[in-house]
Structure formats: C-alpha cells, structure tokens
Amino acid sequence: MKSYCSLPLCDEFIERTALTVQFVFFAIFKLARISYLCDKDEQFIGVLKMSSSRPKGVTIIALLEVVVGIYFLVTGFGEFSTAAIIPLVYYIPSNAMSIIFRVLGAVRIILGLASLLLAWSLWTGKKWAMMVALILAILSIIVNLISLHIIGIVIGAIIIYYITRPIVKQWFTKT
C-alpha cells in the first residue's frame, strides 16, 4: 500500500477517515430506507413513530441531524483513540498532545449527543427544536460565507426558508 505521508499515524488517520465516511453513507442509506418503509402509523423499534402530520422535510432534517450526531460521536471516540496512540508512537514524555486530543474528543462527543437530542426534538415537534435549528442554520450561513462554501450557504438558506413555512410552524406548535 502506498503511503501518502511520512508520519506514522497519517496512514491510520486516512484509513480511519475513509471508514468514517463509509459509515456515514451507510447510516444515511439505512435512515432513508427506514423513513421510506415506515407507514403512517407503524412503530419502529417501539420508540420512533411516524406521524401523518409531520412534514417530510422535518423528517429529512431530523434524519440528517442523526447522521451529524453519529459522525460527531464516531470522530469524538476517534480522537480519544488518537490520544491513546500518540504517546506510544512518538514517545512524547508529556501528555500535552494527549490532553488536546482528549478535549477535542470530548467536545465532539458532546456535540454528537446534542445533535441527537436536537434530531429527536425535531422528530417529535418540540418548539425549541425549531428555534435551535433556525439558529444553527443562520450560524452555518455565516461560517460558510466566511469560508466561501457555496453549498453550505444554499443548504442553510433552504433550511431557514423551509422551517419558516406555515405548515412547518404548525407542526412545531401543535401541542
């Protein structure tokens, strides 16, 4: 196998990233298939219940948020594993690098759990979830404007436009 860089962990990082990408695409496929196969009143694993009044776009946004949460959890645990490997490979006497990776891993795990909570709240129609999704879409547009990422700007704008539609607002204010 051809090495793409001279650092010992670089090949492992590339391989782990490729596996993470494969996992995310697999999760997207499975979630899309689950969403497609569930009938209006069918229960899935006794927890998720498809509602006939939930807009399909909210379902898609919630499922994408699940994928983001899974991605953050996987990469967060990857940071923890990197923190364990670095001292063994580089023989670093201090734990400075390990601490950095542990902190980054903890932040990603927290973001992943928050993302899963947001997905569940979008799925069930909590009003605060709509506000959080709007705030995150606005922040996404700002960050993508700074980095000139056109696709991210368009996706954020579509989410803002969609969530502010009357039928979607009705889903979040149904209680």
Query: Which range scores top for mean pLDDT: 9-23, 79-93, 120-134?
Result: 120-134
- Cα–Cα distance for residue pair 63/116, rounded to 1 Å: 9
pLDDT category at 142 given cuts 50, 70, 90 is very high
- At 15 the pLDDT is 62
Contact present, 10 and 4 (Cβ < 8 Å) = yes
Contact in structure between 69 and 113 (CB atoms under 8 Å): yes
HEC letters along 78-101? HHHHHHHHHHHHHCCCCCHHHHHH
pLDDT for the residue numbered 86 = 72
Q: 0.95 cut: is pTM over it?
A: no
What is the spatial distance between Cα 114 and Cα 105, in angstroms, rounded to a whole number?
A: 14
Of the candidates 113, 86, 72, which has an alpha carbon nearest to the alpha carbon of residue 12?
A: 86
Contact 3, 11 (CB under 8 A): yes
Q: How confident is the model at residue 79 (pLDDT cuts 50, 70, 90)?
A: confident
Instruction: Classify residue 93 by burial, with Cβ atoms within 10 Å: 0-12, 13-18, 19+.
Output: exposed
For the segment 35-45, the average pLDDT, to the nearest whole number, is 44
